């Protein structure tokens, strides 16, 4: 199976948000710039873990923007795609069509994949308006003072961040920044191929560059 950036079995590395050293794109550089954009933009880093190296398990629970309870434990056995976003974040807006395209594709194919957003720093009316404007079909957890975000164990510092969890809730991949449809599709398909009962012979092209 082809993988784009399989990490060494050092899970602690996933807890450090990597950034570019040039062009002012690292987290420290962005903070020093004080450009008032109000968030740290991701640098497009793609991280991927082979099944034997997945040691970080995440459980996510909260209330959706539609005021419905939601918990990742209700989706055991499902590949979970967690996207952290805000309507005020330009890169988040840019990636919405790609996220929605893959979410719709997987749903129509009947594959065991669930998308969930984690909204940050928006009021519920603003976040709902954003969902309606961009025709987002999957739910998002409301900003609840950072409680939902804190459950991601510091793995979603940049905006946007997308995490892919396997059917056991283990972190399998992370995209630090906006994700393209081709990249996300390949990351999900790699995880699906590793799941019990899936055809391990299925392969996909390596994820391409984001943007």
31, pLDDT greater than 80: no
Cα–Cα distance measured from residue 130 to residue 124, given in angstroms and rounded to the nearest whole number:
10
Could you tell me the domains of the chain? 11-194 (3.40.30.10)
Q: What SS3 state is found at 80?
A: strand
Tokens 């309606």 found at: 132
Q: What SS3 state is found at 120?
A: coil
Question: In the chain, pLDDT over 70 holds for what percent of residues?
Answer: 73
Cα–Cα distance measured from residue 83 to residue 80, given in angstroms and rounded to the nearest whole number:
10
126 pLDDT band, cuts 50/70/90, is very high
Among 39-53, 99-113, 162-176, which stretch is predicted with the lowest mean pLDDT? 39-53
pTM: 0.77
Give 188-191's long-range contacts (Cβ < 8 A, gap of 24+): 188/79, 188/81, 188/102, 188/106, 188/113, 188/164, 190/1, 190/3, 190/48, 191/79, 191/164, 191/166
Tokens 């979970």 found at: 80
Cα–Cα distance measured from residue 209 to residue 13, given in angstroms and rounded to the nearest whole number:
21
């Amino acid at each position: 199976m082809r993988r784009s950036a399989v990490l060494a079995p050092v899970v602690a590395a996933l807890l450090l948000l990597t950034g570019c050293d040039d062009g002012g794109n690292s987290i420290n550089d962005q903070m020093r710039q004080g450009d008032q954009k109000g968030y740290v933009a991701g640098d497009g880093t793609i991280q991927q873990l082979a099944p034997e190296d997945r040691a970080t398990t995440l459980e996510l629970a909260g209330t959706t923007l539609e005021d419905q309870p939601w918990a990742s434990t209700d989706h055991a056995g499902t590949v979970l795609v967690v996207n952290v976003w805000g309507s005020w974040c330009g890169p988040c807006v840019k990636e919405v069509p790609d996220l929605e395209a893959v979410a719709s594709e997987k749903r129509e194919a009947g594959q065991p994949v669930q998308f969930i957003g984690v909204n940050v720093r928006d009021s519920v009316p603003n976040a709902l308006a954003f969902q309606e404007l961009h025709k987002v079909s999957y739910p998002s957890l409301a900003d609840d003072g950072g409680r939902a975000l804190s459950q991601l164990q510091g793995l979603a510092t940049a905006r946007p961040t997308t995490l892919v969890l396997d059917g056991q809730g283990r972190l399998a991949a992370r995209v630090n920044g906006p994700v393209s449809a081709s990249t996300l599709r390949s990351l999900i398909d790699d995880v699906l191929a590793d799941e019990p009962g899936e055809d391990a012979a299925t392969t996909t092209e390596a994820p391409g560059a984001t943007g």
